[in-house]
Amino acid sequence: MRDDLTQEQQFMLQRITLEIKDYSKEELIEALLSCWEARFRQKQIFLASSQDAGFSFAFNDGIAVMPEAAVKEFEQSHGYKPTWEDAEDYMESIAEEACMELDMEAIVLEPEE
């Protein structure tokens, strides 16, 4: 089993393995298609919920894209729609602001440390 899965997930995979071992080829194909359909539905629900919260994701590219409000703000300040490079730079600047590096000299240690 895969180590990156929880014990519950590993148990479910083992259970499914035992359940499907006697399936015919047609039953396996139907089960596989059902899994993909469920995956697509989950993705649609996630994307709709994210969009309602102001986030937009491009799963095929593996990167997040600028929220619509940020695109409008960029257009107002720069006079043109952002390119993919602009969007990437924008997302990187947000990540940098959120994950500022610590100044190790500014951290005060306890006497025993």
Q: Tell me the pLDDT tens digit for each residue of 33-56.
A: 999 899 889 988 988 888 888 877
Q: What is the DSSP letter of 108?
A: P
CA distance 90 to 83: 10
- The residue that leads in pLDDT, 85 or 94, is 85
| Number of domains forming the structure of the chain | 2
Q: What is the pLDDT of residue 25?
A: 92
Domain extent, residue 81, equals: 54-99
Q: What is the pLDDT of residue 14?
A: 93
- Its pTM surpasses 0.75: no
Instruction: Determine, yes or no, domain membership for 48.
Output: yes
Task: Assess whether 9 and 40 both reside in one domain.
Answer: yes
Instruction: Determine, yes or no, domain membership for 67.
Output: yes
Task: Assess whether 18 and 63 both reside in one domain.
Answer: no
- The residue that leads in pLDDT, 91 or 22, is 22
Instruction: Determine, yes or no, domain membership for 105.
Output: no
Instruction: Determine, yes or no, domain membership for 11.
Output: yes
CA distance 86 to 89: 5
| pLDDT at residue 32 tops 50 | yes
